[in-house]
Amino acid sequence: MPAGSIRARVRAEMIAEIKTVARRHLATDGANLSLRAVARDMGMVSSAIYRYFASRDELLTALIIDAYNAVGDAVESTEARVDRADFRGRLLAIGHAVRSWALANPAEYALIYGSPVPGYAAPQDTTVAALRTATVLVRVFVDGSDSGALRPSGDQLDDGVHRDLKAAADSIAPGLDPEVLARGTIAWIHLFGAVSFELFGQLNNVIEAREAYFDYQMRRIADLVGV
């Protein structure tokens, strides 16, 4: 089946439609995604899905990769519009991009950043897509560091932590000071902590001004990490 044939195009459209329908189901059923329910919604018999995905897990994996890529796209394009020298602006843009995407796609957010799906082990393929967003954030710290605006604060890091962060820096941003990266990971973790908190309902009946509250947090974290 040559790539450009009609059959290939129809096939690609079917795959896309299966994923779209599956995403709709994620929203109501969480990760207990049912192949039969997806097939039913598409007016097919359940076994027909197996022409496109070898198993339920394979479909889940595809959805996970798509989700990582979707946040990655959103973050990359939002961040790219900010002045390169405005490090704080870039960090805040990343934060708001993640949050906006998560609010628009809560089930997919939960799929990749929520509690792990019981009985599902993510294959290696997902990690490449997962790294995209992290890379954008780390680059802010690399650039800030290179420009001299961001300098190590003199925190003494535990030896083990230093080693871990050095290894991480070597693979994703060679030359980046582990201590600066440590600050970056704090921003990273707070960002996802804040979004998860809001999305998973922990702010219910407490904070109503959510966007402003999120912005407040991100600014304080930016203060903390020195950006």
Taking the least distance from each CB to DNA, the nearer of 36 and 220 is 36
Across 54-81, b (16+ Cβ under 10 Å) vs e yields eebbebbbbbbbbbbebbbebbeebbee
> Is 26 a binder of DNA (CB under 7 A)?
no
CB of 191 to a second copy, least distance (A): 8
Q: Which is nearer to a second copy, 13 or 223 (CB)?
A: 223
Instruction: Give which of DNA, a second copy, none residue 57 binds (C-beta under 5 to 8 Å, depending on kind).
Output: DNA
Instruction: Show Cβ contacts of residue 36 under 8 Å, excluding neighbours closer than 6 positions.
Output: 46
Q: Token pair 């871990």 is at which residue?
A: 164
From 46-54, 82-90, 155-163, 184-192, give the range in contact with DNA by CB under 7 A.
Answer: 46-54
CA distance 67 to 63: 6
Contact between 20 and DNA per CB under 7 A: no
Instruction: Report the alpha-carbon distance of residue 65 to residue 129 in Å, rounded.
Output: 6
> Interface with a second copy by CB under 8 A: which range of 6-14, 53-61, 69-77, 189-197?
189-197
Question: Does residue 174 belong to the site contacting a second copy (CB under 8 A)?
Answer: no
The residue from 21, 48, 172, 203 that contacts DNA (CB under 7 A) is: 48
Residue from 71, 128, 46, 100 nearest 211 by CA = 100
Q: Which of 103, 152, 164, 166 binds a second copy (CB under 8 A)?
A: 164
The gap from C-alpha 205 to its chain's centroid, in whole angstroms, comes to: 27
**In the complex with a second copy, which residue's Cβ is closer, 13 or 29?**
29
Using the contact rule CB under 8 A, the part of the chain among 13-21, 38-46, 67-75, 211-219 near a second copy is: 211-219
Stretch that binds DNA, among 44-52, 85-93, 105-113, 191-199 (CB under 7 A): 44-52
- Verify binding: residue 221, a second copy, rule CB under 8 A: yes
87-93 CB contacts, 8 Å cutoff, 24+ apart: 87/140, 87/143, 87/144, 87/147, 87/149, 87/150, 87/227, 88/222, 88/227, 90/140, 91/137, 91/140, 91/187, 91/218, 91/222, 91/225, 91/227, 92/215, 92/218, 92/219, 92/222
Site residues (vs a second copy, CB under 8 A): 28-30, 32, 110, 113-119, 155, 157-161, 163-165, 168, 182-183, 185-186, 189-190, 192-194, 196-197, 200-202, 206-209, 212-213, 215-217, 220-221, 223-224
